[in-house]
Amino acid sequence: MLNGVDLIAAEDTRHSGKLLQHFGIRTPCQAYHEHNERQLCDSLVVRLQAGESIALISDAGTPLVSDPGYHLVQAARQAGLAVVPVPGACALIAALSVSGLPSDRFVFEDFLPAKAAARRQRLEALAADSRTLIFYESTHRIESSLADMAEVFGHARQAVIARELTKRFETVHGDRLAALLAWLKADEDQRKGEFVVLVRGAEKAASGEVGADVQRMLAILMTELPLKQAAALAAKISGVKKNILYRLALADQKS
């Protein structure tokens, strides 16, 4: 297929060039990455409108999934051009398929913020989400991110680390967040590579019952907002009735 197009738009031509050379593919390549995609987008669409065909590839996995390509696909579709998907590897889906966590409802959150305060804020907003949570993480932040997840979601929340998927040192390991963090700290090799972290969603509270995750979120909101606003926002995020959370907040405030 790559032999049959007029141009290959590659995230890194040096990286992709090795693969193309291995298979004897001589199609011209154009570097197309996060730093130049907006500038090159219009010119590539013009070439497509002139009848040329362009293949978009990323260094690994599926383009647009935590990789460049969104602006080009959007512009091509707006111009009435056909965009044809080629199914291939996608780390988040591969990890979900072997995690043993619920796969009927999940949310992909990409990389968490690098700074601790922003990272915790993002995690706190997800604390009551009942869907399986999926994150990408780097070797430099995997330990601190996992520690924050344990603190915000609770040490007993089930999670899975999928590391170096489809590569030589592929590892898929699941446990409670606290135990998973201890396992990671005990083995330097397990802190290397590319990570997908999957976290089981919060348990839905029974009618009239408020789970520990929601109580924690409510307590955090109460430190920043008036009681009524904290209860209303917690209700909006968690789905628990506002009056139940208001009564709980009022009782906590009195105590």
Could you report the per-residue pLDDT of 167-224, keeping only the tens digit for each?
Answer: 999 999 999 999 999 999 999 999 999 999 999 998 765 545 677 788 888 989 999 9
**241: Cβ–Cβ under 8 A, 6 or more apart, which residues?**
235
**What is the reported pLDDT for 255?**
64
Tokens of 186: 């005990």
Domain match, 112 and 192 both: yes
Burial of 202 (0-12, 13-18, 19+ CB in 10 A): buried
Domain match, 107 and 48 both: no
Q: Quick check: is 207 in a domain?
A: no
Series of mean pLDDT values for 10-residue runs along the chain (255 residues) = 94 93 95 94 97 95 93 97 92 97 96 95 89 96 96 92 94 96 94 96 68 85 91 85 84 74
| Final residue of a structural domain among 20, 51, 78 | 78
Q: Quick check: is 206 in a domain?
A: no
Count how many domains the chain has: 3
Q: Quick check: is 85 in a domain?
A: no
Tokens of 60: 């690994």
Q: Quick check: is 205 in a domain?
A: no
- Domain extent for 49: 7-78
**What is the reported pLDDT for 207?**
47
| Final residue of a structural domain among 156, 171, 199 | 199
Q: Quick check: is 12 in a domain?
A: yes
